[in-house]
Structure 1
Amino acid sequence: MSTSPADSVPSDDERDATGPSFADLGIDDRILRAIADVGYESPSPIQAATIPPLLAGNDLVGLAQTGTGKTAAFAIPVLMGLDQTGKAPKALVLAPTRELAIQVAEAFGRYATHMPGLHVLPIYGGQNYAVQLSGLRRGAQVVVGTPGRVIDHLERGTLDLSELQYLVLDEADEMLKMGFQEDVERILRDTPDSKQVALFSATMPPVIRKISKQYLKDPVEITVKTKTSTAANITQRWVQVSHQRKLDALTRILEVEPFEAIIMFVRTKQATEELAEKLRARGYSAAAINGDIAQAQRERTIGQLKSGVLDILVATDVAARGLDVDRISHVVNYDIPHDTESYVHRIGRTGRAGRSGEALLFVAPRERRLLDAIERATRQPLTEMQLPSVDDVNAQRVTKFGDAITENLASDNLALFRKLIEDYEKEHDIPLADIAAALAIGSYDGNNFFMEPDPEPVERPRRERGERSFEDRGPRERREGPSHHRNTGAELVTYRIAVGKRHKVAPGAIVGAIANEGGLRRSDFGHISIRPDHSLVELPADLSSETLNALSRTRISGQLIQLQLDSGPPGSARPPAGRGPRGGARESSAKPRYERRQPRS
């Protein structure tokens, strides 16, 4: 079976008229309530095509790009069929990167909001083992993990997959590109034959076809082709900003960017009210619309936006359906959408009636892959913008102050107030400039007229390696793992790994495997040189012992990488002693690959 929905993305009204609703797909009330809470009203093409065969118990191969809503396509049927008894995992989702594993686990949590007692656990390289071991002991019906860390837990005997009902391979082609084929096949082979398997991939290379034929039982094959496009008269930009700094970033942009009317999209009903209230407190005419607002109030609010009484509307996707206001000059994606279809529908609210429009997307560091998906789906690159500086904001405030004076000079009441001020000047012998400044104080808060410069970053003394324990770290560091580097000009040293051209490795596979298992970022990597039987990789000189410990078991193309500091060509000086991972490489033949190991200290 192969389905290919229409290439173009239908409008909201067209989808309502022709496509099924989530209720039509046979989804139970608990999950329907969660879907409504998230703000989704009708399924995307991949969801409409894959949920019924998965609910019917079929194995499935889904070919669809990232950002088409495929997480919900497999999460919803898995949750509906899940046996919640016992502590052993009943569903396992394999993802190529730690970021995707976290996002998929969060999505499962959202859809399981009204399923008390169901636990979801992400496991991935770079995170402390104690957190994962504690979660596995407590019990998790759904485990979302990267292949390397899943294999590690299987070897330790800390992950029991004997009761597995569902196995999902998400972005299978990416996993194989990163060298996880052997791990993926081992997991497919060593889990119960009775399990249901769903494989999702953007492409169908021969190795995916081979895995499908060998390990899946008569799979239903679903292909969803998207030719998503956006209007040429809409300028699309994005800015990277953490969740904590979004409001500050937004207010800076609003001060500097000229706009007529804005619609801002957030994910939840509660967020619409909170953001609208914060904007009103900063002097903007803002209102919220969401699914809980009565129709009469919704119509009144939209009327105010059309007439110019209201300038900013904060909305969820569902609440904005059917919204058509010509004066919307900007669409701000305050929360990035999880699927590209929603993005296209959102920014289509501007650039109406032949006018130009501006679309701005806030992207947190962990959400960069969603930005990549949007660019691929829309076939249009988004331009990165820098946040306005303090000087930019202050210059704009001075300009607006002058513009207000210029505008008021044309007022019919100018003669009246000039006479009053001239009389005051004669009576009190006060200079006109001082009188004007005093009047301005009545309209402006002088103490806050200029934005204060950002505080200088505090220089903290550098600790010696090994001085700081994992427990000393803050909550964010503990969540992201002890090896979370930001390479801002840090010293790089050259490491040698035991895979090269004869293993058919590419730089992307090296970066993906080491970054995933070691918890590094792509910015932590320097030059990569692939030689016939080994490769040289530049990495930060201050890799933590936890990172080195994780990388000592990393494999690429099934080969243990045996990470060690490179000693250079024969006769050259060796690097300082004590800087290598556990004193250098391990012998790959020291013990069988799947022998159960004792937990690391």
Structure 2
Amino acid sequence: MTFADLGLGDAVLKALREVGYETPSAIQAATIPTLLAGRDVVGMAQTGTGKTAAFALPIIDRLDVSQKTPQALVLAPTRELALQVCEAFEKYAGHLKGVHVLPVYGGQGYGVQLSALRRGVHIVVGTPGRIIDHLEKGTLDLSELKYLVLDEADEMLKMGFAEDVETILAETPDTKQVALFSATMPATIRRISQQYLNDPEEITVKAKTQTSANISQRYLVVQWQQKMDALTRFLEVENFDGMIVFGRTKSVTEEIAEKLRARGYSSAAINGDIAQPQREKTVNQLKSGKLDILVATDVAARGLDVERISHVVNFDIPTDAESYVHRIGRTGRAGRTGDAISFVTPRERGLVRMIERATRQELTEVPLPSVDEVNVTRLARFDDRITAALAETERIESFRDIVAHYVRNHDVPEADVAAALAVVAQGDQRLLLEPDPEPARRPERRDSGDRGASRFDRDDRGERPDRPDRAARRPREGMATYRIAVGRRQRVEPRQIVGALANEGGLRRDDFGAIQIRPDFSLVELPADLSPETLERLSTTRISGQLIDLRPDAGGPSRRHDGGTDRGFRRDDRRGNDRRPDDRPRKPRHGSSDR
């Protein structure tokens, strides 16, 4: 079946050919002929099925351009969806002269909307709250309305617009044609359809899965504090065009966007705190290619339809399947392929199973891209830069003479000169990643003559406590002791500290000395000559979700005047006496009730 078979006019068909639409989706094939015949419709369809075209094409096909009062009103739950629907109408009406479409939503000044309404508009697309405002002010005339669409009606009810929707329906002519679209059919929507629609035809599009088969769905099990490194590695090895990264909170989106910009990626965050003009500007930059990565919350991204989106990353996996479907539905639209990657902490594995059951589609577990994979990609891109430069023959000729002059005067092989020029081009940034650091291991200290040595093997939490004199030890030459604001209460381990600091600070395994984990902080030996830039990056690093606030250790209140540490003494709450760890009775190693 083609769009021509549905009864649409030549002007609309020409616009569809220009935007690349060839065959109608299931909801379009069932809905368009019914609406063209003048019947009301209740459409049950998930997001991303093409329902916007299903109601927009019949409206445009029958539009009377000579009528200056609004002929069609589309209600949408969010301003993002309203803008998306407006863009669709304008695209489909590309070969009809004089069609005016007006988005009406909160956050935009009334002046622009009032001016457009006075000049005359044919189609109004808006959120219920702002439509009610115009009706109360008498600035929106719906007396000659012919078509009314309720888009994502279930979402409007969830957002508390039920009363506004019914008020708007009551203000419109009884002769209008109504199309209601919803992913679900709760009792309230069923009642509205029975009360305000005239013998509607119910059209249900059932898919085998709720998610598009065009979307590759993968997930990676990763610790929370390793997510940023995991995202960076995926960005290096994935061939993506545009990307949306979803975070659970506003602060997370801003932090991700900032760290991506620091790593050289073109990224920006949108969330509920971003003003509407800035949101629109950011989305337009994403569409035009000036921005590659959008970091967003669920609400901010609802209704986004950008053809460039090839990848969706769930930096924080959603806790319900519906949000997951909405998120990954931002890619793989209109027959295109897409990729969805979710970062899952070990405790969140159950969410993956829940999503698989709800969507009836399996998610593929993948490993973190290795250092070798990242380096292969970096070398390939470096090769491409060289190849592109070699294509500029005129500039190559001029520089060839300069290189030859240097070789003659300094007696240096051309290969060394080329390597030196590569160093100049690369700057301070490393071209290749170093191998992942292994966790720093402290040598066991056992003295056969010390009968109490075994008492330092493990404490009652299963960890190795510091000896009373260990805090007073001096770091080895060239090293300094730094304090970080995470400790045993955050359940950190040496390997987590090494991994986080190595990734954020570009440190190697040899750069780490002793690591001491205390109840509320930890002490780490690092090179004494760390640059201010490295210290700044490390101070904003997070481990177990908490800023580590790395700084040189100056002793502080946690050190005792005798050089011991707060771990060197322990309070016996029953007797009020201070005593050393080796004075307390040894607890059983197996079968203890407090394990």
Say whether the fold is shared (TM-score over 0.5).
no
| TM-score class normalised by the smaller sequence | 0.3 to 0.5
Using CA pairs under 8 Å that are at least 6 residues apart, name the structure with larger relative contact order, 1 or 2.
1
Larger Rg: 2
TM-score, normalised to structure 2, is 0.44
